[in-house]
Structure 1
Amino acid sequence: MKFPIRLTIRMKLVSIILFFICVPFLILGKLWYDQSVQLMEQNAVNTGTQSVRQISGGVDSYFEGLENLTLPYLTHHLTQKFMKLVPSEEYQRFNVTKQIQENLFPALNAGRKDIHNTIMMNTNRISTSSLGIAQSLERAKAYYEAAQTGERFGIEGISRVQGVPVMSVYRLISSTQSFQSSGVLVLDLNLSEITRIINNFKYDDDTAAPVSIVDTSYRYVYHPEQEQWGMPVPASLSDRLRTGQTGYYLEEINDIQTLVVYHRSDRTGWATVSYYPIREMMGFLIRLRSMTLIVGLSLIGLALLLVGGYSVSLTRVLLRLKSHMNRAENGDLSSRADDRRNDELGSLNRSFNKMLDRIQQQNEVIYKKQLQEKELQIQQRDSKLIAMQSQINPHFLYNSLEVINSYAILEGSPSISKMTASLARLFRYNSQEGSPIVTLEEELKHIMTYLSIQTERYSELVTEIKVEPLDFKQVQVPRFTLQPLIENAFKHGYDKHMLPPSYIGIEGFIADGTCCIRIKDHGYGMSFEKMEALNAQFEPSVSRSSLEETEDIVRADTGTIGLWNVHSRILLHFGAPNGLSIIQSSNKGTVVELRLPLK
């Protein structure tokens, strides 16, 4: 359905305020104004009754809050320890009491200005107090006996602690193991919170309805005149409190006709009493009526001004965002919206800016990927050319080596024959086409051929291959994995330090479902710092996407390129945690471990 008039956001907001707030308010205000005069006299009684009920409810909520506040501390481990104290354990008593005074009581009293003193006592008559008052033990004993015969949570009227009038709340403490009564927790409360609750129910700043609170012994817990605290109430009031829970009566007090309203709480048994001068009550309602109309009309006008200003700000931001979106739609991804606001519009602008940033990043990634693909294609062409050049007539070389081998046999030179045969096998393995992945069995045969040539070169070289029985065909490895590691041992362990090669060992075993191959030499190793740096680069956290960056880092050190190439090939083919790690390296030799997956 299409509307003939297209409303803007500003017009919609103003319309909502006018039709759903202003109009109902004016109609209801007129009806209320007409009826309020007739109901003023009746409202005096109803308001008085409601007020004392609310004050009584506020006092009940206050004591309920104290009951909930103390509940976690009844089962606290320090409380339970205190309940088990006996007079003979002097040190334990001192230690636990100190912890309670330094930790438990401050936590219980934190932020509570109404708690004047905290007392705790167990069944062995051991007590402690946050104020260290001597009479705390006797008062705690009385509250413990009262709790045993009555409710587990009780309230006592006015008493004085160090000259300060307080009311007391006590809670029975039970053992968490036997669930038997084991002590009592007492809170001495000043009347600041009660005073605050009563002050919140004043009529206004000029005229306030006096309120008093009476305990179950018909004594004032609170009275506008502090001298009356703890004093008995008049007989006229106590007689009515004994016969009814809620009521009111008219009484002339100081020559003023006064409405006395009272309500007794079911929870505490305390009564809330309020005194309302009839003349002042009706004058207050009249002023309240006029004030409500003035405030209501003022709020409506202010709301219209605020909504109008906010709608202008809102539409301005949306229009600017729309302009940026149009520029982005036309290909200008450099456009950015104002993201300095801290509201939903600022969040919307920031999301728009992030979207443009991500689009730009994705475009850059796509561009770089296209460049990488082109470079890869060029590298593949170069690799094919090199492979073709290295494979020109390999049979000619094989035949030549066979002829040399034959002449060596005829001349009785087994060493030359052995080296020639090994060299032919090496050349054949190097020039084979096919998958870059071979079995560990093929790689070990190749490395044994390589070592046989090296033993002919170095007469003092001892080679040792010790591999646990396993199916070598079940373990796969990239072609030419072991040879660079052994060549690295010759070059950096022996040749670099002008040492004659003396030992090369290969050890294979299974650990944690992984095939581990260790290459050992007795040459001069690397420094501890360099070994730690290399192992940090070999960590499984180095992902495939960071291999090129890491390769640029290690390229500056030619002694680590061979190790890194082997590690990166394994990581690219099999993923983490496979790869290289340097187990040890010192002036007595180096051990490099190669981890390969099992099928």
Structure 2
Amino acid sequence: MQIKWQIGMNIVLRYLFLKDQSLITKLLVFSGLLVVVPMVTVGSISYLRSSQVLEQEAGDYSWQIIEQVKSHIEYYVLDFEIGTLKMINHPDMGSFMRKGIWEEGEKTSIRNSLQTLLNNTSYSRSDISGITIILDNMEPVATSFGKSIEPMADLSQEYWYKSVPTNGEDLLVSRFVKLQDRNEPVISIIKKLVNPYTLESFGLIITDVNFRRLKDIADKVIIGRTGAMYILDSQGHYVYHPDVNEIGKKASIDNLTEMLKQGKGTLINEKKDEFVTYSKSQFLGWTLYMAVPYSELSQGTGYIGNTIVWTTIITLCIAYIFGVGFASSIIRPIRNLQHFMKKVEIGVFSQKVAVESRDEIGMLTNGFNKMVEKLKNLLEEIYFSKLKETEMSLRQKETELKVLQSQVNPHFLFNSLETIRGMSLEYEKEDIADMALSLAKLLRYNLKETSQLVTVKEELSVCKRYLRIQKYRFDNKLEYDFDMPDWVLEQKIVKFSLQPIVENCVIHGIEPNLGTAKISISATSQSDHSFQITVSDSGAGIEQELLRSINEDLQQKDILSGGSHIGIINVHRRIELLCGEGYGLFIESKQGKGTSVNIKLPKSEYWDRLNNKECATTVEIQ
């Protein structure tokens, strides 16, 4: 189960981190995320915070306006309450309350007195629509301004009737009063009449204030384009509404009960999608609130949101423009490097990748160039090594062919030499017998199939037989000397490496010399790893220009080089092929003083480290 979970997580992470996508896709996607995520985060936080700030500022601004309007209305209503108290405390009203019970004739007199009082009070204020006194035991008394007086039975059906305070405080409501030809909205200040002597309620006094004054105050309040101010009474009915037809109706607001109880606050009226700021007047018992459509309030935050969105889009576009350029500066050298890698795959090593920078990609490119250069050198070394092997193989085949050509009836040659030797001994010609014996052993050694490596002792014995034959040829004018330490005799040497050099000394050093000549073979230790055999003659020597040409031919790697010195070159190539670079021939000569051929060879204990051949891998040359 855990393994399946890990496999599933690996698949998810592979898609999440775009592991299978191109590098430029990853750069563009992640650079876009680095721009979008911070900007969206900051933009969202800024948008939410700005919304909160705008709502807070709108609420604070609305409260300031409401408090100003509330104070203005409170002072305005206070003047009417003072006027109402003056009427209640008037002597005629006092006489009325003290008498309590009136005769029928007295009622007419008191009604006239009260009406005169109401008219005088009403005439003192132009914004008073009318004043009505409704008594329990008498017909209502009102100002004579043409409005109809509502009977007590009709008033008791109003929603506010039971809410009139009995402690002498006022109740303020908005209502419609009936005029002769129309219904007119008024603000009614309603107060219970209480007999100070008996403390019993005996009626109501209602002061109707012209609604236009309140409307003028409320209409001056401007908030936003469509925001408006509203006034509710203690039961949630409209005291003021921009639409006069809504006056007296129950308000349709979410959390209306909570709004009427709290003194101050804000809420969202979801029914009309409005932002509501409200404040209650303890003096009036009214709740004043301002409602602004939430869409209008959020225009500022919408503008901020649009600004953030467009800023994000523009910034993202700019970031992508720079991102594409930056990604191209990274991808272009990588693709260029990939292009050259494909060339290397098909074997093109001659071109180099241009290094355009010193950063990690530049270092990678430079390392790739060095790697290609080393690979090229290694391939050249392998190529020349194969050429050497091919050369040696061809020359070996050539030698074998010559040997085969010389092996025409070998038993006949051996038998002939033995016959000559026998006849020489019979006629006591020991020098002829010795010469025939040496030639037979030399021929047998040449035809003997052995390893490419032999001991120095075996190679020296071949040289002695060859020189013995040559000594008979030159009538004792040839002398030779071997100065070989015992430890050298068991060292390994390439087969047929000394005899061709000795033969070369005889041909080029002894034959042109009319006098006695000498050939010397000696050996010395060069280091712990190598030793040197020197073959020298006392001949005429070699001209310096020719000597330089021969030594240069020895250093050439081309299998076709060698010119007319093919024998020496062949020996050198065979030693170098078997033993490695640093081993082989080097010739020294001075005209009139002879020539020395130096052969550098590894010691026997290091042959297994040379060239990974039969004789070994390369030995470090010290």
State the TM-score bracket (shorter-chain normalisation).
Answer: 0.3 to 0.5
- The TM-score with structure 2 as length reference comes to 0.42
Structure with higher Rg: it is 2
